[in-house]
Amino acid sequence: MKADRQNGLPHDGNAQAHFSHYAAPLIDNAVSCVAALQRDHDAEVLHKMRVSLRRLRTLLWAYRPLLDETFDEQQRALFKFFANAAGKTRDWDILIGLLDSTADARDQARDALRAARAETFEASRETIESANVKTALREALKEANRELNTAHERTPLPKFARKRLGAAQKSMEKRMKRAAHAKRSDYASFHEVRKAGKKLRYLTEFFEPMLAKKQLKSIKGLKKLQKRFGELNDVVASEQLLRDHLNVFPDEAASARALDALAKERKRRMRAAAKLL
């Protein structure tokens, strides 16, 4: 019996029985991050929690054919809410990093940017702590396991993994074609490629030992694509964040210079991302 290199899972098991083997470590990591927030103000803690929640959403998408649709939608919406709350501080860190390349903009807004970042971190921490993330995640795992393990049919894990990854690959290909024919100003189509690529990457990490060589080969360039599209998303999100908080600058001229700098960087990153399509 061959075993999963990452989790020690048998390849000839069934998908229903192995859901918790994929989900439990992600939930444990998210819960440990919540606990760490009480003593650590580093946005990296929030980012790690956010990544675990994103992986959980992808796992639920993978198992959607085997789960109740309403339950799946409710849980993925909950995980998205938690992830968004966790990601707001990192958004400020990214904006501050981008403005570091524009000395004039950075110097005039440094204190206000740091204050906004600190305020956002506290708000994120309060939201996460009051939401009782630990209980919500544990209950979601319990309910998913109950539903999966009481199902009458059993689905072979290797077959299930290849089929779901195949569906994600097709979705990725469609979105890439759509983005390739879209106008350069149409960021939404690029954003869809980024999300599809992230889903494909996470599924590959879950199921890699059970995948055919052909499937693995077809996603070889995924990391490069994700990197470029992620960099594009960073600057687009930073532009929006800055527009929503123009008061961090002392005057309109300073905010305009910062927005111009971000716009130029967005166009450069848009061209770089488009080359991969």
Domain ranges of the chain: 15-155, 156-277
> What pLDDT, on the 0 to 100 scale, is given for residue 2?
40
Which ranges constitute the DSSP H helices of the chain?
15-36, 43-62, 69-99, 103-130, 133-149, 157-180, 187-207, 213-218, 222-244, 252-274
**Cα–Cα distance, 205 to 120 (Å, whole number):** 32
For residue 95, how far is the Cα from the chain centroid?
18
**Cα–Cα distance, 139 to 33 (Å, whole number):** 18
Which residues on neighbouring strands pair with residue 3, listed in sequence order?
10
- pLDDT over 80 (residue 119): yes
What are phi and psi for residue 100, nearest 5 degrees?
A: -60, -25
pLDDT band at 5 (very low <50, low <70, confident <90, very high): very low
Which of the pair, 10 or 35, is modelled with greater confidence?
35
pTM, two decimal places: 0.85
Average pLDDT over residues 27-48: 86
Angle of the 43-62 helix axis to the 69-99 helix axis, nearest 10:
150
pLDDT tens, position by position, 235-245: 999 999 999 99
Other C-beta atoms within 10 Å of 12: how many? Answer: 11
- pLDDT over 60 (residue 94): yes
Which residues on neighbouring strands pair with residue 14, listed in sequence order?
156
- pLDDT over 80 (residue 106): no
CA triplet 228, 75, 16: central angle to 5 degrees? 95
pLDDT tens, position by position, 242-273: 999 998 888 888 888 889 999 999 999 999 99
**Cα–Cα distance, 258 to 252 (Å, whole number):** 10
Q: What is the mean pLDDT of the chain?
A: 86
Other C-beta atoms within 10 Å of 270: how many? Answer: 19
CATH of domain 156-277: 1.40.20.10
